[in-house]
C-alpha cells in the first residue's frame, strides 16, 4: 500500500533560507530518482515556509531516501535552521499525491512536531497555518 509523507518546515532566518535553498536541487533530484518514489511536490509558502509531499511504495522506501544522500546530509541542519517543523505520514489506497489542503488537514489532525532548537510560539502549541496555494 502506498505511503505518504508530508513535511512543513519554516526557516527561522534569511541566512538559513539561503542555505536551505542551496540544498534543494540536490535533495529534489535525489527524490526524483529514489527507488520507490511514486511522486513528489514542493511548495514554497509565505514566511519562509516550505511544504513537501511525496508518495512512496512503502515506508521503507521513504526511510531509505530520507536517511541517505543529499537529504540525509541536510536533515541534521534542520534542527537549527527551522523554528517550526511538522511531519505527517499515512498509508493510502492509490499512488496519487494528496492536495495541499489534505496535507494541511493531516498535519493538523495526525501530524507531529519535529525537534527544533529555537521553536516559535506557534511550534510550541502546534499551530500550523494553511498553505497559500494559487
The predicted-structure confidence for 82-125, as pLDDT tens digits, reads as follows 999 999 999 999 999 999 999 999 999 999 999 999 999 999 89
CA 67, 8, 79, 115 torsion-angle sign: negative
| Residue 125: burial class (beta carbons within 10 Å; 0-12, 13-18, 19+) | exposed
CATH classification of the domain holding 89: 3.30.70.100
Q: Answer whether 0.85 is exceeded by the pTM.
A: yes
- pLDDT tens-place string over residues 54-79: 999 999 999 999 999 999 999 999 99
Is 129 contained in some domain? no
| Of residues 53, 49, 129, the one with CA closest to residue 82 | 49
Provide the 3-class DSSP secondary structure of residue 123: helix
Domain count, the chain: 1
Q: Which domain holds residue 117?
A: 3-124
Is 131 contained in some domain? no
Amino acid at each position: 500500500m502506498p505511503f505518504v509523507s508530508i513535511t512543513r518546515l519554516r526557516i527561522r532566518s534569511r541566512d538559513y533560507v539561503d542555505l536551505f535553498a542551496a540544498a534543494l536541487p540536490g535533495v529534489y533530484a535525489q527524490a526524483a530518482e529514489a527507488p520507490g518514489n511514486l511522486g513528489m511536490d514542493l511548495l514554497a509558502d509565505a514566511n519562509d515556509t516550505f511544504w513537501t509531499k511525496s508518495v512512496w511504495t512503502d515506508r521503507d522506501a521513504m526511510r531509505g531516501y530520507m536517511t541517505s544522500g543529499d537529504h540525509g546530509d541536510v536533515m541534521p541542519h534542520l534542527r537549527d535552521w527551522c523554528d517550526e517543523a511538522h511531519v505527517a505520514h499515512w498509508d493510502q489506497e492509490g499512488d496519487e499525491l494528496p492536495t495541499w489542503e489534505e496535507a494541511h488537514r493531516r498535519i493538523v489532525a495526525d501530524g507531529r512536531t519535529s525537534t527544533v532548537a529555537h521553536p516559535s510560539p506557534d511550534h510550541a502549541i502546534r499551530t500550523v497555518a494553511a498553505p497559500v496555494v494559487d
